[in-house]
Amino acid sequence: MRDDMMQAALATWAAKDIPARLLAGQVAKLLNCSTEDVAILVSAGKLRALGKPKPNAVKFFSSIELITLLADRDWLDEATKTIGQYWRRKNARRNGLPTEKQADAAVAVR
């Protein structure tokens, strides 16, 4: 199954004339999300930048790896959940509401 996905990814890559290395903005366009969401996926370990860039350096991503991930429905599901959880927690903190973990801890203490 993995070989089939890789073959499909290679065919897609060749047919679309996509560069081998993608910037975060290009990754965001393929994922239909923002560049900030790409950073969220990187920090969550769902995406890996090429090389070992410094935190403030420009990051490049492998187009073949990304296309393979795009063909994996389970990965897309997890990436979508990760982005959603990040924004829920951030909005809860901004609005002074307890996050899911804080609410669970408060219930456990009672």
Region 20-39: what's the mean pLDDT?
A: 95
8 A C-beta contact, residue 49 and residue 61: yes
Give 8 or 62, the one with higher predicted confidence: 62
Region 23-48: what's the mean pLDDT?
A: 95
pLDDT of residue 17: 76
Assigned token pair, 60: 């490049």
Angle at alpha carbon of residue 22, lines to 18 and 27, rounded to 5°: 95
pTM, 2 dp: 0.75
Region 54-81: what's the mean pLDDT?
A: 93
Region 17-36: what's the mean pLDDT?
A: 92
